[in-house]
């Protein structure tokens, strides 16, 4: 048996799974928080990405980058609420191709963030002042980031429509 299947069977038998599916307020509360978290995540990261792609060049990148902790907070909220959705009924997710693609896009977005911060691209981009362009490597990472986060949103929205899980 596959490890994801074993974990899902265990998770479905927990009190957490029972609570998510039996308390009528948990799911809609998580949905609301998930959308708020997504707004923070994509709003902040999208703003920084668009600046690095050349929009709003009159803004220096450094002050915009100070908003990134708000985007990280949004990601944390989405991770918690996403896990609660999964805990509620893991089997509606594990066999859904949209869920697999959403998780793939999240993983690739994480690798993209790692490439930005761990390869020196961030240090080069951080020094970008008003009216200046970031290096081409930062533009490629920014374009990839936008594509990947839009993919996460798309496949998240397609969960009820792709596959037969919902």
Domain boundaries, the chain: 3-157
Using alpha carbons, select from 59, 30, 26 the residue that is nearest to residue 133: 59
User: CA gyration radius for the chain?
Assistant: 18
Which pLDDT tens digit goes with each residue over 12-68? 999 999 999 999 999 999 999 999 999 999 999 999 999 999 998 888 888 889 999
Q: What is the DSSP letter of 53?
A: T
Model pTM above 0.85: yes
């Amino acid at each position: 048996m596959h490890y994801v299947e074993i974990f899902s069977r265990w998770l479905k038998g927990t009190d957490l799974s029972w609570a998510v599916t039996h308390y009528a307020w948990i799911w809609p509360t998580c949905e609301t928080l998930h959308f708020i978290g997504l707004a923070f995540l994509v709003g902040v990261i999208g703003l920084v990405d668009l600046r690095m792609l050349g929009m709003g060049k009159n803004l220096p990148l450094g002050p915009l980058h100070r908003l990134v902790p708000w985007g990280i907070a949004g990601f944390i909220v989405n991770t918690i609420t996403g896990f609660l959705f999964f805990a509620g009924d893991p089997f509606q997710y594990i066999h859904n191709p949209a869920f697999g693609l959403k998780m793939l896009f999240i993983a690739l977005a994480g690798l993209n963030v790692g490439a930005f911060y761990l390869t020196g691209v961030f240090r080069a981009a951080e020094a970008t002042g008003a009216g200046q362009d970031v290096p081409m490597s930062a533009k490629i990472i920014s374009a990839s980031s936008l594509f990947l986060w839009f993919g996460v949103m798309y496949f998240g929205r397609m969960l009820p429509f792709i596959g037969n899980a919902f």
